[in-house]
Structure 1
Amino acid sequence: MSKSTAIVTGAASRRGIGRATAHALAAAGWDVAILDLDEVAAKETAAEIASQHGVAAHGLACDVTDETSVEAAVAELERSAAPVGALVNNAGITSPVPFLEVSAAEWDRVFAVNVRGAFNITHRVTPGMVERGFGRVVFLSSVSAERGGGVFGGVAYSAAKAGQLGFAKALAREVGQYGITVNSVAPGLIDTDITGGALEGERKAKLIEGIPVGRNGRVEDVADLITFLCRPESGYITGVTYDVNGGSHMH
């Protein structure tokens, strides 16, 4: 593979899936771009990846919900980085608010990041992939989208993450002819900053009881699969949702 850049959005969080994915992609030879609201953390993450894996790594401030911010970040990458070959739509927020209590503002906030944010960045980088005849797009959805919440996310989160699944499948149909694949990953219970505090003591034991492999997931479990989907050799896999949940939800 000639040098390509993989963008991972929302990848500066220290214990997040995005950061682990950026490391895994770099280990596989990709240059990496970390796009995150927290510019300082994005640059720190990029520096860590560059020193550990010997690839070019870029850390950029980006609010995926804001088209101007997305444009500025991607334009900067186009000037200073290898062409974008992969996009991991990892930036996301969860919301546990029950439906009967959810406000319109909260609903919009969850959709703004998970769905509109994914649209903004995907819409911006896909034309370049079409032009070059190669691209890999991966959406970070959730088991909540498939089983209807019941883990951490309420209705807004489950609806937004289900929206990503439909987005990915329809896009896969449109761009497959250009050498671009579009897939989704639906993690179950993964030990991250989002779930960390809730995964303690009795509640943790109860949740793990329902997982056939007998443990909660690690960020590397998800990162490894995303990296597999981004390989040039994975070009006949598209429009698929991969479950990474230890068998807690089968369908």
Structure 2
Amino acid sequence: MPIPDVSGRSLGELISLAGRTAVVTGGGRGLGKAIALRLAEAGANVLIGDVDEALAVAAAKDLGARHPVQALGTFMDVTDTATVTAAAGLAAESLGGVDVWVNNAGIFPAAPLLEVTDELWDRVLAVNARGALAGSREAARRMTDAGHGGVIVNVASTAGFRASGPGLAAYVASKHAVRGLTRQLALELAPRGIRVLGVAPTYVPTEGNRLAAAAAGDTTAEAGDTMPVMTNSRIGRMGVPDDIARVVLFCASDLSAFMTGSTLLADAGETL
């Protein structure tokens, strides 16, 4: 199934997601919620999945109040395949299908190497890497069955391009895995008309990131700042969630129709 040539479409048509349905994992707050909002603004109906069902439902309600689209929030634990399948089924039954799937859910508990337990390692890889696999697999199944292709976007990290701060061995490994998965799935799914792209943000202060920083002993997190090792912006400011959401929208839309397999750095030049 070839990806169509969209050269004759207007800019408005290229960015529009009208008539499409997007699923965003970990979309109850932070980057996920910002991504869901931009996809909805572009016209997509959106299903938000989150381990905190109340957050997912509240985010969907907020999204529906802002944009004239359908939005649903539901429980989803990306380490539990049954809940991923159930969320995809809800999107298909209530919102018309699955056209865009954003694997955003992730965690990054920190621990020095000598204190990294098997349990911590397995948990991080289960959420960040296996969760992306579970979402991509379900999305690809739904897109293939519908016969119309689609787009999968994996939210990686600058930690998928290099070593990161101390204590993040499991996180760095998981995000390198997400980059590799993005390339491999792009190869496997291209014949089905499914594009797979990654977006690699630098650290962006969000509710979840600040909590994780505080748990790791970063005393600046409570003041709204972030870990010094994660701030190396070349453009004069730190990022905000919408900076990342706009890149995800580019990937999800036909603006990027000639791209698959790439992971786009959204890092304010941090990795230069």
Residues 147-183 of structure 1: per-residue CA shift (max 9 Å, x gap): 2122x76100000011000001000011112221111
Give 1:211's aligned residue. Answer: 233
Give 2:249's aligned residue. Answer: 227
The CA deviation at 1:232 is 2.6
How does 1:1-251 map onto structure 2 within 5 Å? 3-13=19-29, 16-131=30-145, 132-150=147-165, 154-196=168-210, 198=218, 204=226, 206=228, 210-250=232-272
My pick for the range that moved more, 26-35 or 92-101, is 92-101
C-alpha distance in 2 between matches for 1:202 and 1:88: 27
C-alpha distance in 2 between matches for 1:101 and 1:206: 22
Are residues 231 and 153 of structure 1, via their aligned partners in 2, closer, same or farther at CA, if it must alter by over 3 Å? Answer: farther
Residues 65-122 of structure 1: per-residue CA shift (max 9 Å, x gap): 1112222222222221121100100000102112221000000000110111111121
Are residues 8 and 170 of structure 1, via their aligned partners in 2, closer, same or farther at CA, if it must alter by over 3 Å? Answer: same
User: TM-score of the superposition, structure 1-length normalised?
Assistant: 0.91
Residue 265 of structure 2 aligns to a residue whose secondary structure is strand
Runs of 4+ with deviation above 4 angstroms: 197-209
Residues 200-219 of structure 1: per-residue CA shift (max 9 Å, x gap): 57975955873211211110
My pick for the range that moved more, 76-85 or 127-136, is 127-136
- Listed as ranges, the gaps of 5+ residues in structure 1 are none
> How many residue pairs align between the two structures?
247
Are residues 146 and 73 of structure 1, via their aligned partners in 2, closer, same or farther at CA, if it must alter by over 3 Å? Answer: same
Residue 36 of structure 2 aligns to a residue whose secondary structure is helix
The CA deviation at 1:3 is 1.3
Percent of residue pairs bearing the same amino acid type: 35
C-alpha distance in 2 between matches for 1:202 and 1:31: 32
C-alpha distance in 1 between matches for 2:187 and 2:258: 12
C-alpha distance in 1 between matches for 2:101 and 2:190: 15
C-alpha distance in 2 between matches for 1:135 and 1:170: 16
The one-letter code matched in structure 1 to 2:120 is E
Are residues 165 and 49 of structure 1, via their aligned partners in 2, closer, same or farther at CA, if it must alter by over 3 Å? Answer: same
